[in-house]
Amino acid sequence: MKIDLTTRIKNLTFRNPITVASGTFGTKDEYSKYVDYEKLGAVITKTITVRPRKGNSMPRICETTGGMLNAIGLQNKGLEDFIENKVPFFAEIDTPLIVNIAGESLDDFRELTKALHQHPDVVKALELNLSCPNVEEGGTSFMKKREIMIDVLKAVRSETDLPLFAKLSPELGDVVEIAGDVISAGADGLSLINTLKGMAIDIYKRRSRIANVTGGLSGPAIKPVALRYVYEVKKYYKVPIIASGGIMTAEDAVEFLIAGADLLAIGTASFVNPRATLDILEGITAFCKKQKIKHIDELRRAFNAEKR
């Protein structure tokens, strides 16, 4: 039995709903010896900023119960390098690319959008990182104010008609409320959820296990929170959602589809198993076969809200 996993969002068609969470899949070809990128539904890039960023001091990741903490601090080589070196690489790959961007000002967002808009054959959508917990000083934390997020959306919208996904975290406040604001300001969809701020202490050194003291918590520990927001945001707004937050197995992935996710972004799982994306994809297909589901849309929003 052939299972149709085709996923449609606005004018885009994805061969399946599996993608990678920003910042967890290298910056270019790092995963290519484990994963055939052309089997993925989409690739989402690590956050790109206008200027190169060195990121935070090491150590900047550590394992915790049920997850991991990271405080990478948006390390990346900047927009120019992305256009020169990454765009040509992704141009050769027959998989839609979603570029994740962040800025320190509205002008940064405009500049990033203008430049990326000029590569419509490669860049199919933008994901706006409005929610990185690891950049406090001066940097992208300027976005934490709700009015500024709205201005960012308006600024980006005025430069492009590419589909825009606003990436949010509960660190910003009530995600359901903020979702409404960013949709009104021009977002086509949401990316839910970015990491939750946390910490871990080395009890012998009495110090944080990461240099930045706090970091973003990801992995299974945040899955129920992510699932709840995907469900609630979809219920109220019916917009496309890229889900991330502890999707480690095909069963996790199916839960997110039932809650209302359109794309499923695999993050921390790729650190445990670099082939996690494709293993999850195979698991979803096997689940559909067993359940006699012909098209993946039969699972989407199949949540049964009857009282039990």
Ligand X SMILES: Cc1cc2nc3c(=O)[nH]c(=O)nc-3n(C[C@H](O)[C@H](O)[C@H](O)COP(=O)(O)O)c2cc1C
Pick from 149, 139, 173, 165: nearest CA to 71: 139
Please check whether residue 160 is in contact with residue 119, taking contact to mean a CB–CB distance below 8 angstroms: no
**What is the phi/psi pair of residue 182, to 5°?**
-70, -30
Interacting span for ligand X (CB under 6 A) from 2-10, 69-77, 87-95, 272-280: 69-77
Please check whether residue 100 is in contact with residue 48, taking contact to mean a CB–CB distance below 8 angstroms: yes
Residue 132 among the catalytic residues: yes
CB of 146 to ligand X, least distance (A): 18
CB of 218 to ligand X, least distance (A): 3
**What is the phi/psi pair of residue 250, to 5°?**
-65, -35
In this complex, which beta carbon is closest to ligand X, that of residue 21 or of residue 149? 21
Q: How many chain residues interact with ligand X (CB under 6 A)?
A: 27
Q: Does 49 bind ligand X (CB under 6 A)?
A: no
Q: Does 74 bind ligand X (CB under 6 A)?
A: yes
Q: Does 72 bind ligand X (CB under 6 A)?
A: yes
In this complex, which beta carbon is closest to ligand X, that of residue 89 or of residue 271? 271
In this complex, which beta carbon is closest to ligand X, that of residue 56 or of residue 244? 244
CB of 280 to ligand X, least distance (A): 11
Tell which one of 124, 167, 234, 300 touches ligand X (CB under 6 A). 167
Tell which one of 7, 19, 129, 277 touches ligand X (CB under 6 A). 129
| CA dihedral sign of residues 295, 296, 297, 299 | positive
If 0-12 CB within 10 Å is exposed, 13-18 middle and 19+ buried, where does residue 202 land?
exposed
Which residue among 132, 187, 222, 266 is the active-site one?
132
Close Cβ partners of 206 (under 8 Å, ≥ 6 residues apart):
none
Q: Does 189 bind ligand X (CB under 6 A)?
A: no
Distance CA 266, CA 268 (A): 7
Tell which one of 70, 140, 208, 277 touches ligand X (CB under 6 A). 70
Distance CA 274, CA 204 (A): 32
Peptide bond into 193 cis (omega under 30): yes
Interacting span for ligand X (CB under 6 A) from 67-75, 146-154, 180-188, 233-241: 67-75
Please check whether residue 108 is in contact with residue 135, taking contact to mean a CB–CB distance below 8 angstroms: no
Return residues touching ligand X (CB under 6 A).
21-24, 46-47, 61, 68, 70, 72, 74, 100, 129, 132, 167, 194-195, 218-219, 222, 244-247, 267-269
Question: Among all residues, which ones are annotated catalytic?
Answer: 132
